[in-house]
Structure 1
């Protein structure tokens, strides 16, 4: 019994000693950290004050450079600044006085690509593909059970693409007219009418010239509008006339009509 009590007292004494020792270690570490921080702050403050003293002892630019040279330097600097401002103003004036604004082109995905990024649109596409496959299989199985052979009716496909060479020639003519005649006519109209726009100035007393230019501009715009309407009418009439006269199949008709 006495030995058990002695062991308990020894354990409690050792635990108390360990706790006191840990507290002393923590206190010593805290004091060491405090002294290190104080030394670091003191050193940095001394370096800062020494740098300030060195900067205060540096001579001014007026003491190094003579007054006449300083005036010439400031004059050259002012001239360069004025030239830069003038060039920037001239660039701004050119940009503002240009006939057409500057366009910025950037690459972007097509509408179909953006739509297919949506999961619902992809699901609808898969549904249509599945329906098409099922229809093909249904027709094939029906022909197989009824006639004993599968007839995919390739003759119908060949018939739809008959007169393809004539259709492609007509399509090329339409495409060529759109890319050459319409573009260059529009280019001519857009730049020619700039010279016909009346410019009214408060310094010039002549007011007849702006009126003549206004009349010429109206006549020119009316003539170009009439020519454009005539082109649209011919562009709609002649392809349909050739389609009906040659009796094009469905696919070749769609090629021409889509080009319209």
Structure 2
């Protein structure tokens, strides 16, 4: 018996020691894996930082006759993707989610108290997405035109160019005229359809943003590949191989979340469908967030203006009351589109370079803010506008190209606003192209907390002014009589008439 008990104790001791060793091995392996992942992340961040630093240094040290390549595509996450791995940063996102839940509860309780039931009609949202099916059909036509007509035209130009060696210039000018005509028609057709069908705000934005995105994609594809074709034709050797990208490369570029054309991009090995669903879910949450901000803050604020004359003191008070909802529009637009939407498409396409924005929230000047807020569009403007104008002006000054970029961006921001809202009220152009350009040229570019705070103050006040003016003009256009003349259409009505819309929680608004 003693022997049996001793044997049992020995077996238990052996099992316990074995489990301890096994646990220690697992613990060491976990530590090793964590250290390896951390080290790899540091290495990747270091490589990215070194590349960006090299680019900035080469820009700073370049002579007035040199300008560098703007973008090198490498595999990297978006900044927020890495930051959300930190529990403290996730906590900030959770606060915004909690605020959304509170908005839903508050609006629901208001419905029960005022109407005796829950109102889930979402009138404003349905109004914003009016005629979405027609908008999607127009998008399909635009996409077919961009993918087939453009590629086929470029293919024919490159394939038959050598057949007109004696009349290269005439042949190229004909195709250049066709290209310019196509771009003008592509710009005019969707805007005409928006005016004709009276789309809602969201439906109009879908068409307009896709229109501009495809126009920039087309120009990037043509601009990157034309020099390749010309270089082949200029070869003195007999080897003049026909140069045209594969259609699969062009089609991938049309859907990839970048506006800079390359034949190849870094790709991830697999698609994380759970990540895709998470991103699209947060896009939908951002849309509902905007809806509840409008219902909770904007409609009550601007609905109360129908009881009194709009004086300067009331106007200033409304502006400061609009800073908070305007700031939420800014943050939700950034997070919903630049982070979630683009990351979702990047994941589905296994597009590995996720630098769609930089740390714009740390900017200490508007120059830095413009460069880091939307890197996708900034890369296109820098590559195909700034650099082109810099070369055309003799490579003597960088101020003129910078002014041209800002003004071009302001014009198209205003273009989107005009056809989205259905009236001309150049607030965006003034704030972006005049005030923003003034800040860009005159404000000192120094680092430090004070300058970052100043940038945020100016940015938030600008969002408040923008929200106030557009909401006021929308109410005025809806409630004040218009005579339909040209000057009446381009004259702001928010300062020339008294608003007479009835005050109601669910008053409809054209925004």
TM-score (norm 1): 0.44
TM-score (norm 2): 0.24
- Higher percent of residues as helix: 1
